[in-house]
Amino acid sequence: MTPYQIAIEFERQYPNDFPELDKEIGGKGTGERNSVAQYIAQVLSTRIKNNVNYPIEGKFLHRAYLHKLTYKTNDRCIESSLGQSYDLSLFRLKE
């Protein structure tokens, strides 16, 4: 899953807690430099790096030929802010 997908699912499963984060999910045009998706990617990356037994693994999808990703929720569409500077973080449970 991408950090955006994780953030969207967190908002769906915990609608009363999500506003306490005081951040947007993220995406192009939000004007936010510190989004929930960025926070999730940073925290998971740090935990994976510091603990070889962490039950989640991370990889990257190279940005070549990747123009945009759009995530649809029940009430809106969120376009990722990929740009040409970053590869896309992906996370999954280890098998």
Q: For 48-75, how does the pLDDT look when each residue is reduced to its tens digit (9 = 90+)?
A: 999 999 999 999 988 887 878 889 988 8
pLDDT value, residue 47: 97
Which residues contact residue 95 at a Cβ distance below 8 angstroms, ignoring those fewer than 6 apart? Answer: none
pLDDT of residue 32: 63
Domains of the chain by residue range: 3-93
pTM: 0.86
- Distance CA(75)–CA(14), nearest Å, equals 16
